[in-house]
Amino acid sequence: MAALRADRPLQLGGSLGLSVAGAESNVAIGLARLGHSVRWAGLTGTDEFGRLVLRTLRAEGVDISCAATTEAGPTGLVIFEPRVADLVRVRYYRDRSAGASLDPEHLGRALAEPARVLHVTGVTAALGAGPCEAVSAAVRAAPALGARVSLDVNYRSGLWSTAEAAGTLRPLARHVDILVASDDELPLIASERARTEEARVESLLDQGVGEVVIKRGADGAEVFHRGGSFALAAVAVPVRDTVGAGDAFVAGYLSALLDGEPVEARLDRAVTTGAFAVASSGDWEGLPRRDELGLLRVPPGATLR
């Protein structure tokens, strides 16, 4: 999507800054900055916003050879409006957008090439029947590519209801290797019969999910797997912008996974990259390069010379 960020409430005539956003593209940029080879498969309009999205991804080192454009609708738009302190209101304009016309055929090239990890989110599935079918087709095709499936629930109430989300996401669980969700999103993909967090995690592991990663915001995160669980506190940083922190977290987790790191190291990198996002403005602009991962351990107020 194109992203417009206001510097004050819109009704007061705040100025708007233009950038790009999107859950999967944020993760792609985060992984590319950490030195991984990343392909982004998606659909943009043949408009200036669409050109900006593709130009930004390409400039960040993301392979866009599997991206496509369409005249079926304009590139989607999201507007971020600050309201008070670090509270931000988000409005989506994605109905009948280019992305809403995505279908499995648009992923043909992407799903014909080997990959180690396939990452999808509930945001794309929320855009309509075609995008939902595309997500489903992708996760089903992953084993043939040799790819582990990573799914971030990433529920957006502005795009669909909890009932719609649960009806779509629950059938996908059995195809997922790494599930990422905040604690309040877990009920949308776990068994409907499960009423506690413990039962929900168990239901997902029973379906074959290898790792259930629960984001707990300022309280850190926890990973559950058949061998046990591991929790880690969040990295304390000054909060500038919480939007995009979840995607940064996922990028860090998948980066360490691709590096062959154990669960504990994956979670450590995840909370680190999430902290970079929280301490920076924008969805992806503040994400670290690999040689910057240690910056948050530098004393506050220090100058790097």
Say whether 247 is catalytic: yes
- Separation CA 185–CA 189 (nearest Å): 8
Both tokens of 173, joined, read 């669980």
Q: Which of 219, 222, 189, 213 lies closest to 203 in space, CA to CA?
A: 189
Residue 107, phi then psi, degrees to nearest 5: -100, 5
Q: Which of 205, 41, 161 lies closest to 108 in space, CA to CA?
A: 41
Strand pairing of 221-225 and 68-70? unpaired
**Contact in structure between 145 and 111 (CB atoms under 8 Å):** yes
Q: What is the CA radius of gyration of the chain?
A: 18
Sign of CA dihedral 211, 214, 154, 60: negative
Which member of 152, 247, 268, 283 is catalytic?
247
Residue 4 Cα distances to 25, 59, 79, 154, angstroms: 16, 19, 5, 20
Q: Is 58 left (phi over 0), alpha (psi -120 to 50) or beta?
A: alpha
Burial of 18 (0-12, 13-18, 19+ CB in 10 A): exposed
User: What is the residue type of 78?
Assistant: V
User: What is the residue type of 106?
Assistant: H
Residue 171, phi then psi, degrees to nearest 5: -65, -20
- Residues annotated as part of the active site: 247
